[in-house]
Amino acid sequence: MSIWNHLLCRPIMNFVHNKCRNAIYSKSPLVNRFPVPNELTKWSREWLEYSPNEFTDPNVLGKVWADPEIPDLKKTAWNRIDGKVNRVSFVCEYAVDSSLRPINPIGRTGISGRGILGRWGPNHAADPIVTRIAEDGTTLEFVAIQRRDTGEWAIPGGMVDAGEQVSQTLRREFAEEAMSGVVDIGAIDELWNNGKELYRGYVDDPRNTDNAWMETVVINFHDSTGLLKNVNLQAGDDAKALRWIPVDSGEPLYASHEHFIQLLKENFNLNNL
Ligand code: RP5
């Protein structure tokens, strides 16, 4: 692939992903990534020896939320809304390889194929950062869940279903992951009225491959009226645990979530000086 395929990606050309390189991709079955050093991450650097393992997890095959393993690649509308599936990238107009499969716009990951992701190309998610001021009256904190797959703490986000609006995904995922057992989910309806967008773009997710990657929209919902005081938040099935984390805790988080918390802090300082 030539550098010219990615001319439209120039605005993000300096960003280098880390969490989706140089590690074991899957433990069962064992799949290793081809090690990709920093300086060879960008496709624009020619690297004739690059030979990633091809991997698509058997668990995604035949799932309603996943593409067929061999889609009709000539008819699939890359970079477009394809029926109910959004194949548009927030990053740029992505290129396709000689087999007509989308190419990760940020660069090499050491794995080709779809890995454990459902869609070829961008896999769209939505991340609600729900915040409040703690009882000490000054500490800004956010709702986090502990993921079952990696054990890492994370914002309780999730995948946008085919045909779903991002605004619906944000509410649905928060209810599923953080409001298990809450009968009156409508008690916090007001919270969703004033969202502040912090980010839309690529996620440095450990599941990314050369042909499939995560993108997200991150929205902050701040509970300024104490709506959540009367709700007993609890982790849902996809999560092991839930807690409020102070934004200054420096706690390591899943994928690019530390970056999203940094954006939250900057935004809060700007608006509350
Ligand atoms: C991350 O994966 C996104 O930022 C979002 O938090 C999450 C969505 O995937 P699942 O939680 O549905 O696995 O890249």
What pLDDT tens digit does each residue of the chain (273 aa) get? 444 445 555 556 578 899 999 889 999 999 999 999 999 999 999 999 999 999 999 999 999 999 988 777 667 899 999 999 999 999 999 999 888 899 999 999 999 999 999 999 999 999 999 999 999 999 999 999 999 999 999 999 999 999 999 999 999 999 999 999 887 888 889 999 999 999 999 999 999 999 999 999 999 999 999 999 989 999 998 899 999 999 999 999 999 999 999 999 999 886 665
Nearest atom in ligand 1 to the alpha carbon of residue 214 is: 14
Ligand 1 pocket, residue 208 CB under 6 Å = no
Residue with tokens 């092991």: 240
Both tokens of 11, joined, read: 């605005």
- Determine if ligand 1 sits within 6 Å of the CB of residue 219: no
pLDDT of residue 267: 93
Which pTM was predicted? 0.94
Rounded Cα distance, 215 and 141, in Å: 24
Pocket flag, ligand 1, residue 261 (CB < 6 Å)? no
For residue 203, give the nearest of 263, 145, 260, 135 by alpha carbon. Answer: 260
- Specify the residue with its C-alpha closest to ligand 1, atom 12: 158
Residue 75 DSSP SS3: coil
pLDDT at 191: 95
Question: Cα separation of 42 and 14, whole Å?
Answer: 9
pLDDT for res 8: 53
Q: Which atom of ligand 1 is nearest to the CA of 260?
A: 4
173 pocket-lining for ligand 1 (C-beta < 6 Å) = no
141 lines ligand 1 (CB under 6 A): no
103 lines ligand 1 (CB under 6 A): no
Ligand 1 neighbourhood includes 239 CB (under 6 angstroms)? no
pLDDT at 99: 84
Cβ of 60 closer than 6 Å to ligand 1, yes or no, is: no
The whole-number pLDDT of residue 12 equals 61
Closest ligand 1 atom to 257 CA: 4
What is the reported pLDDT for 173?
A: 96
CA of 159 to the centre of ligand 1 (A): 6
- Cα 148 off chain centre by: 16
Is residue 264 within 8 A of residue 247, CB to CB? The reply is yes
Model pLDDT, residue 14: 76
Buried b (16+ CB within 10 A) or exposed e, 199-211: bebbbbbbbbbbb
Distance CA 223, CA 208 (A): 33
Q: Is the CB of 191 under 6 A from ligand 1?
A: no
Bridge partners of 153, per DSSP, are 146
Cα dihedral 155, 242, 27, 18 sign: positive
According to the model, what pLDDT value does residue 4 have?
A: 43
Substitution site in 202, 254, 258, 263 for ligand 1 pocket (most atoms within 8 Å of beta carbon): 254
* Phi–psi pair at 225, nearest 5 degrees: -110, 5
**pLDDT score at 268:** 86
Q: Which atom of ligand 1 is nearest to the CA of 155?
A: 6
Structure tokens at 172: 């649905």
Q: Is 173 helix (H, G, I), strand (E, B) or coil?
A: helix
pLDDT at 213: 98
20 vs 215: CA distance, rounded Å: 13
Q: Please, which residues have CB within 8 angstroms of residue 50's CB and are 6 or more apart in sequence?
A: 34, 36, 40, 108
The verdict on the CB of residue 157 being under 6 Å from ligand 1 is yes
Residue 155 CB–ligand 1 contact under 6 Å: yes
> Is 121 close to ligand 1, i.e. is its CB under 6 Å away?
no
